[in-house]
Structure 1
């Protein structure tokens, strides 16, 4: 019986080590690259333009990844305007 416990313990340790080996060593390697980010700005809002362009510059997001839309600057948007403008 003692040999059986020892055998189970050995394989449990092996299994744990194997599962630990599957954990990524470099979690930052999975981070999104600046080229994979899109920044959407509303050309009707000076704040949107300023914040979006500042964010893109600080995060090195390429200019080609800044998407400019033109929508009314208000709290909500109708379904019709959403489909037409966005």
Structure 2
């Protein structure tokens, strides 16, 4: 399994969406596909990723990726936090 490091750059909370949108930069690993199993690097807590969102023109240009994360993990979804693959 590929090891991932994902840094959150921005967070969006759109009420119509099923979870919070974490826009971030992949610091290690390849493109996130499917539903990655990630943990918060600081606390070691699992992050409940609901899915990877479709790229936008902006994220294509910047190389960022979008993850949809459960609202129950709101305290872990803050800019500057880093998440790593659970196998890291």
TM-score, length-scaled by structure 2: 0.21
Q: Which has the higher contact order (CA 8 A, sep 6+)?
A: 2
Q: Of Structure 1 and Structure 2, which has the larger fraction of its residues in helix?
A: 1
Larger radius of gyration: 1
Q: Of Structure 1 and Structure 2, which has the larger fraction of its residues in strand?
A: 2
